[in-house]
Amino acid sequence: MRALIQRVTEAYVIIGEQRHAEVGEGLVILVGITAEDTEQDALWLVRKILQMRLFTDDEGKMNKSILDVQGKLLVVSQFTLYASTKKGNRPSFINAAKPARAVPLYEFFLKACKDLVETRSGVFGADMKVSLVNDGPVTIWLDSKHRE
């Protein structure tokens, strides 16, 4: 699994003409899933994200986690994180898991997040507009297969 994490002061998802989900201070997590991913990959990502010190302390150093600041998560499925651009100019998404495999793992990831921190989400497979104010900016890339 891959995750692109952005520290935000606010973020929201619009589906159609409706604001579907929103958060204030917290993290936007774009999640990509490949066919080889497992629940262990999801749990590793959740633990890493929730423990990662991305928020500043009183001295201005990034020493606090999302749990420490009682922030919120906005999770959005993003199959394009598995784009391959080796050939030509049109990305290939062959490495992204098909919905039959990806949806249950995405829902598992969401539940694992919701069990520990207030979490909002987009809708898997929907055409979404994601708006955010990246704070810092702080943007972190995680890959469960490389454990980084």
Q: pLDDT for 66-109, tens place per residue?
A: 999 999 999 999 999 999 998 889 999 999 999 999 999 999 99
Question: What SS3 state is found at 25?
Answer: coil
In this prediction, residue 51 has a pLDDT band, given cuts at 50, 70 and 90, of very high
Model confidence at 29, in pLDDT bands (50, 70, 90)? Answer: very high
Residue 126 has pLDDT above 80, yes or no: yes
Asked whether the predicted pLDDT for residue 148 surpasses 80, the reply is: no
The whole-angstrom separation of Cα 24 and Cα 10 is 4
The residue from 34, 80, 85, 119 that is catalytic is 80
Domains of the chain (ranges, CATH numbers): 2-142 (3.50.80.10)
**Which pTM value belongs to this model?**
0.94
Residue with tokens 């979404």: 128
| pLDDT at position 123 | 96
**Would you say residue 136 has pLDDT above 80?**
yes
Characterize 50-82 residue by residue with b for buried, 16 or more Cβ atoms within 10 angstroms of its Cβ, and e for exposed. bebebbbeeeeeeebbbeeeebbbbbbbbbebb
Residue 85 appears among annotated catalytic residues = no
- Residue 34 tokens, joined: 């490949």
Q: What is the mean pLDDT of residues 56-70?
A: 96
Strand intervals (E) in the chain: 2-15, 18-23, 26-32, 55-56, 62-64, 72-77, 119-121, 128-143
